[in-house]
Amino acid sequence: MPEARLFSQSARAYIDVVSRIRPDQWDAPGLGVWNVRGLVGHTARAILTVENYLEADEPGAISVPDAETYYTTVFEQFTDNEAVAARGVEAGAWLGDNPVLTLREALERTENLIAEQPPRRIVSLGGNGMLLEQYLRTRVFELVVHTLDICEATGIEHSLPDAAISDTAALATRIAVARGFGREMLFALTGRAPLPEGFSVV
């Protein structure tokens, strides 16, 4: 499954960045309300949710057909920003005194679970069914964007695979088009006009 391979590569690149965070940087500003530890914790959830969903019962049908629909419907409808922020802080605390070891163990468990799944495995997202490979596309998106956030906050260079960055940029563009911002994206990418102030696809 190419999505699983890209997920693993992106997760390992994220953990590589985490391994180079200096002790004095963990309490530094990260992103929004998070310090670096909270941002790293939030990013860890891109791994942990896969593990959790694969340990849950499989739903009977697919209601979220792809990653684009996830971000334009499920993500938008069910995201509580305060709860997301709190879960990031909790996950940051969960990392403990050896975040790299904790993350490596979590990724190993998750990769083993993915390898055990049958073709067209469906995961349940709050009652919504989604193919595992499509859900992994959303996890690559989160890993790439937030690994770059961590790099921005710490000055660390990333080793994310080009394929993961390419897929993430393409997914972001398709989300923008699905939300009616295709013209704005094309004009920004071709140097015709800047994106509107505060523009975001998530």
Res 145: pLDDT: 99
Q: Domain ranges in the chain? A: 2-161
Neighbours of 79 (CB within 10 A): 11
Q: pTM for this structure?
A: 0.96
> What average pLDDT values come out for the chain (202 residues) when binned by 10 residues?
96 99 98 98 98 94 96 81 92 97 99 97 93 98 99 98 98 96 96 94 89
What fold is seen in the domain 2-161? Four Helix Bundle (Hemerythrin (Met), subunit A) (1.20.120)
Res 110: pLDDT: 99
Q: Tell me if 141 sits within 8 A of 171, measured CB to CB.
A: yes
Res 161: pLDDT: 98
pLDDT tens-digit profile of 118-156?
999 999 998 899 999 999 999 999 999 999 999 999 999
Res 148: pLDDT: 99
CA 155 to chain centre: 20
Within the chain, how many helices (H) and strands (E) appear? 9, 4
Task: Please give the DSSP secondary-structure letter assigned to residue 23.
Answer: G
